[in-house]
Chain A
Amino acid sequence: SQQGEEDPQALSIQEGENATMNCSYKTSINNLQWYRQNSGRGLVHLILIRSNEREKHSGRLRVTLDTSKKSSSLLITASRAADTASYFCATDAFSGGYNKLIFGAGTRLAVHP
């Protein structure tokens, strides 16, 4: 079963606009990660936020985490056509004695010039 679920499933915006994607999860986490996937490629790590952090920045990316609501958001500011990709959140899950990453279904972002 999926731990993280992204919302919306798809998002279409114009260049220069901000894009916000949300992720909800079900159980307690140690951290949450966001990944990007360009069409036909593997996933690339964007940012990790720990459970004791509320906000984190990396360039044009801003990630927030609300552990009381079990949710996170990824904000991309001043979007560019090159930001067109699918974005996934991933949460850690501990079972069988080891940590695993559980991915959501992703948000497909299209940025139009």
Chain B
Amino acid sequence: NAGVTQTPKFQVLKTGQSMTLQCAQDMNHEYMSWYRQDPGMGLRLIHYSVGAGITDQGEVPNGYNVSRSTTEDFPLRLLSAAPSQTSVYFCASSTDSSSYNEQFFGPGTRLTVL
């Protein structure tokens, strides 16, 4: 199993550009989530999904959209990039939404917005 994969690994955008961060998992996990990690802030939850067709907002959803058309994929869209969105983005998945499940993380996407 590849686990959780993310593409791209690095990305530089100009303010106002849009892009999609890709996330895929091959473990048949129902629960997937997106976090951003900023220095001294830990990980903050952006959006999450408890299954195909079901998504909800986390702590910091503004400026981001998600969809979950399949169990495997959970892309994160930046609608109009801003310098405040410069961060490292992690996708994670777990068996289901039970809080007793460990989360499996992807390697991250380092995004810089100029």
Q: Which of B43, B58, B92 has the most CB of A within 10 A?
A: B43
A103 CA to B16 CA in the complex, in Å?
Answer: 30
Is B84's CB within 8 Å of the partner chain A? Answer: no
| A99–B90 touching, CB < 8 Å | no
Residues on B with beta carbons closer than 8 Å to the beta carbon of A2: 42
| A48–B102 touching, CB < 8 Å | yes
Q: Which of B89-107 contact A (CB under 8 A)?
A: 90, 92, 97-100, 102-107
Is B53's CB within 8 Å of the partner chain A? Answer: no
Taking A31-B99, A31-B100 as contacts, is the C-beta distance between A100 and B45 under 8 angstroms?
A: yes
Is A30's CB within 8 Å of the partner chain B? Answer: yes
Q: Which of B4, B42, B90 has the most CB of A within 10 A?
A: B42
| A48–B103 touching, CB < 8 Å | no
Question: Closest CB-CB distance, A111 to chain B, in whole Å?
Answer: 21
Residues on A with beta carbons closer than 8 Å to the beta carbon of B40: 9, 105
| A48–B100 touching, CB < 8 Å | yes
Is A11's CB within 8 Å of the partner chain B? Answer: no
| B99–A99 touching, CB < 8 Å | yes
| A106–B56 touching, CB < 8 Å | no
Q: Which of the residues A40, A44, A92, A106 comes within 8 Å of B42, measured between beta carbons?
A: A106
| A101–B42 touching, CB < 8 Å | no
5 pairs of residues in contact across A and B, judged by CB atoms under 8 Å:
A42-B4, A42-B90, A88-B42, A98-B56, A99-B98
